[in-house]
A and B are shown apart, each in its own frame.
Chain A
Amino acid sequence: MIEVQHLTKQYGRVTAVNDISFRVERGEILGFLGPNGAGKTTTMRILTGYMPASEGKAIVAGFDVFDQPIEAKRRTGYLPETPPLYPDMTVVEYLDFVSKIKGVPAVGRQKRIREVMGRTRIADMADRMCSKLSKGYRQRVGLAQAIIHNPDVLILDEPTAGLDPKQIIETRELIKELAGSHTIVPSTHILPEVSQTCERVVIINKGRVVAEDTPQNLTARLQGSETLYVQVDSDGVDPVGALERIPGVTRVLQADRNDRAVGYEIESERGRDIRRDLAREVVGSGWGLLELRPMRLSLEEIFLSLTTDEKPAPAPEETAHA
């Protein structure tokens, strides 16, 4: 349904999107994940025909967004980061205008508007001015605007940004509901979002795709390299050298320090259990082995490890309960 090939976008000297390629099948929800400034919005703007790419190709619903923009746009619904509402129109007037320019036929237009308002739960705000809507309603009107012409492809730029938890859940439900009949690409920088709604995830960072997989596989794959957390009281001796000498250990990083107890993250070769050797080494050296446990990478950490150059220290509460 969506095919992106070697997409590159340069703003002057800055490369916002660098050689991105991915595919989305019909009816699929593909999460588009990345930190702020990674190039998510730029990619989406290219897909929706808002701006052309510097290089590469994007095919949406069978039409090249650059060569046949009108045809592609007819089949695409887009919710930008800020819902594009006209403050001086009521919700109904706004949807009426949008349905006209999106080519919804005059016959049945009013019915379609009512239907979409029901679906996005904005019917009670029908005659409210757009400028008087709360953030949650603005977002929903934005979503209504995106689906009014029943597009094949829905591109949603941070659809849950700025919503309260209840609204977030409602929006997620709505996205899932729409999934069967539409191909949906939501972007976000919030992870639980992705694991709950998306079948597949593309993680981009600094304009490049750094990972593309299902949330489950992604978690599994990154846990492939075993990581242990060990807390040692080594009486002031630096234990790193000794730890690194343990067979199978590939990397030792200091994770935290708490008075005399120092925590380390130890990465080892895949499929090799070094816990036994590790414990023996620490105890044999006469140090205190205060804690030893395998580290589970949450999607959050995977994301961070993929999108940051330095390995981040695990969150403090991580080490607290062991």
Chain B
Amino acid sequence: MRNIAAIAQKELRSYFASPIGYIVLGLFALLYGYFYVTMLNYFVRQGMQMSMMGGGQQAINVNQMMIRPLLQNVTILILFMMPTVTMRAYAEEKRSGTIELLLTSPLSDWEIILGKFVGALALWGAMLAVTLVHIAVLFAYGRPEWKPIVTAYLGLVLMGGCFISVGLLISSLTKNQIVAGVATFTVFLLLWIVNWIGSFSGPTINAVTQYLSIVDQFDDFAKGVIDTSHLIYYISFISFGLFLTAKSVDSERWRG
């Protein structure tokens, strides 16, 4: 446990010792801010139209009209940002030779992998913390319901974990950060749009591809529903990704 913390801390430090952490956080905040402003405008306009048409009592739902689509858009941001977070995880250690330090220290492969996972997840947490500031503003001027927001954030954390586990796996396969980054982005994109093929195929394939799509699994969380099947999906996805990473690191050892 202490070892995992040491690795995680080192990972987090390396994000912020280089510009990567700041750039990812800054650009994420910028794009998210843009989404936020456009959606807020849209929401306000909708609200005014409603009240002019005499909606009166039944105020429109800020959760449904604004927060949910906003957080669903965050999934697009993960797609672009997360490869830059995970691409160096193993690739850089292998290129610079520091992997020799890690693999000859009294650490298990799992401690190294979990340390890296937790470190990346912490950066993702920092990115999500930025979005919480905006949500807090909504609370200051309105009365959104907090429960669906909590479930949505739970979903976002888990979804981020899935992307991180895939990113770590791909990073462990190469020495080259750029290769890792591009390959990770491609795989993320595939995992995101895998359900498109389903809409042209039969219902069975449709159900399968729908299930495989990381982002589709998030929809229920955004609606405020915690479905155990989605929970299990995310957790098993993360475990499987990390398991394959462990196998990849181990096989690298054997191959030399």
Contacts and interface: CB of A to CB of B under 8 A. Distances in A.
A and B are partners in one complex rather than unrelated chains: yes
Interface of A: 9, 11, 16, 42, 45, 48-52, 70-71, 73-74, 76, 78, 80-82, 84-89, 93, 97-98, 100-103, 145
B143 interface: no
15 contacts: A49-B103, A49-B104, A51-B254, A70-B107, A73-B104, A76-B104, A80-B101, A80-B104, A86-B98, A88-B13, A89-B14, A97-B6, A97-B10, A101-B105, A103-B106
Interface of B: 2-3, 6-7, 9-10, 13-14, 17-18, 96-108, 253-256
Given A11-B256, A50-B253, A88-B18, A98 B104 contact: no
Nearest to A49: B104
A100 B2 contact: yes
Report which residue of A9, A42, A86, A98 has the largest number of chain B beta carbons within 10 angstroms of its beta carbon: A86
Contacts of A42: 256
Contact of A84 (B96, B106, B107): B96
Given A88-B17, A100-B2, A101-B7, A70 B100 contact: no
Task: Identify whether the interface residues of B are mostly helix, strand, loop, or mixed.
Answer: helix
Contacts of A145: 101
A45 B99 CA distance: 12
A82 B105 contact: no
A283 to B, nearest CB: 60
Given A11-B255, A11-B256, A97-B6, A48 B104 contact: yes
A100 B159 CA distance: 31
B10 A50 contact: no
A29 B237 CA distance: 50
A70 B6 contact: no
Given A49-B104, A70-B108, A80-B100, A89 B13 contact: yes
A81 B7 CA distance: 23
Contact of A73 (B14, B98, B106): B106
B163 to A, nearest CB: 24
Contact of B102 (A74, A101, A103): A101
B104 A87 contact: no
Contacts of B6: 97, 100-101
B26 to A, nearest CB: 18
Given A50-B103, A50-B253, A84 B98 contact: yes
A42 B104 CA distance: 13
Contact of B100 (A74, A78, A101): A78
B92 to A, nearest CB: 9
A71 B255 CA distance: 23
Contacts of A76: 104
Nearest to A42: B256
Given A11-B255, A88-B14, A98 B96 contact: no
A82 B97 contact: yes
Contact of A74 (B101, B106, B256): B106
B110 to A, nearest CB: 12
A89 B16 CA distance: 11
Contacts of B99: 84
B96 A87 contact: yes
A80 B102 CA distance: 12
A85 B101 CA distance: 9
A102 B100 CA distance: 13
Contacts of A82: 97
A142 to B, nearest CB: 9
A7 to B, nearest CB: 14
A76 B100 CA distance: 13
Nearest to A90: B17
Given A86-B98, A101-B7, A51 B253 contact: yes
A102 B97 CA distance: 17
Shortest 3 CB-CB contacts between residues of A and residues of B = A88-B17, A84-B101, A100-B6
Given A11-B256, A52-B253, A101-B107, A84 B17 contact: no
Report which residue of A50, A84, A102 has the largest number of chain B beta carbons within 10 angstroms of its beta carbon: A84
A97 B98 CA distance: 12
Contacts of A52: 253-254
Contacts of A97: 6, 9-10
A70 to B, nearest CB: 5
A50 B104 contact: yes
A301 to B, nearest CB: 33
